[in-house]
Amino acid sequence: MKYRAIATDYDGTLATEGRVADTTLAALKRYQQAGGLLLMVTGRELTDLQNAFSALAIFDGVVVENGAVFYHPASERLQLLADPPPDAFIATLKAQHVSPINTGQVIVSTWQPHGAVVQQTIQSMGLASRVIMNKRAVMVLPANVTKATGLNVALTELGLTANQVVGIGDAENDFDLLKSCGLGVAVANALPAVKDMADRVTTQYRGAGVEELVDWILNGEL
């Protein structure tokens, strides 16, 4: 099997409206039983992901907060890969009526139309942070943190190289993930820009697209 691991985004890729179909979960297990490793790479916070997806333990490694945190399900070990922004940043956003504001271990997030205010606040405070868009979601992370940097930590943990991995996603924050893998795949519902940069595009949407990818690998089409 050429590709020893699949690194998948969660929302809009593996999941539909926050839930993973039984057929998709079965496909992941088929791939794992054939010797493949499973990696999750998502913008979600860990607790939120665990509440949404009860089968997270089947994954060999989980990157959350868009690359800022690595979680090892088997040992339940959590590793922060970056520092959060100062408390003054969040206080300044609140003073400008940015709401809602969600804070994880590292990530700070809100929704459009607050992206411009968030960006201006980062610049005015001189922070080494950047805004990453995920459709309507506005995520703030350290400037050097992406899904690709988080994936690299997971690959080191598992003794894999990027060329052995297929990445699959659907939105702007998946660009770095797909570019960093040996093969980058966009699901059929992905944003046009993601499809344009991907090596392959599935014919199926969301979880069914992941199922299609598993079939490609197991049938020797990749």
Cis peptide bond upstream of 113, omega within 30: yes
> Can you tell me whether residue 129 is helix, strand or coil?
strand
Q: Environment class of residue 218 by beta-carbon count within 10 Å: exposed (0-12), middle (13-18) or buried (19+)?
A: middle
> Can you tell me whether residue 140 is helix, strand or coil?
strand
- Residue extents of the structural domains in the chain: 5-81+145-219, 87-142
Give me the residue label for tokens 């960093």: 180
The Cα–Cα gap between 100 and 130 comes to 19
Check: pTM over 0.85? Answer yes or no.
Answer: yes
Q: List pLDDT tens digits, range 65-98.
A: 999 999 999 999 999 999 999 999 999 999 999 9
The Cα–Cα gap between 142 and 105 comes to 12
Q: Provide mean pLDDT across the span 32-54.
A: 96
Whole-number pLDDT of residue 84: 92
Local structure of residue 50 (DSSP, 8 states): H
What secondary structure does DSSP assign to 55-98, as a single string? TGGG-SEEEEGGGTEEEETTTTEEEE-SPPPPHHHHHHHHHTT-
- pLDDT of residue 33 exceeding 90: yes
Fold classification of 5-81+145-219 (topology level): Rossmann fold (3.40.50)
Domain 87-142 has CATH 3.90.1070: yes
Q: List pLDDT tens digits, range 123-152.
A: 999 999 999 888 888 999 999 999 999 999
- pLDDT of residue 182 exceeding 90: yes
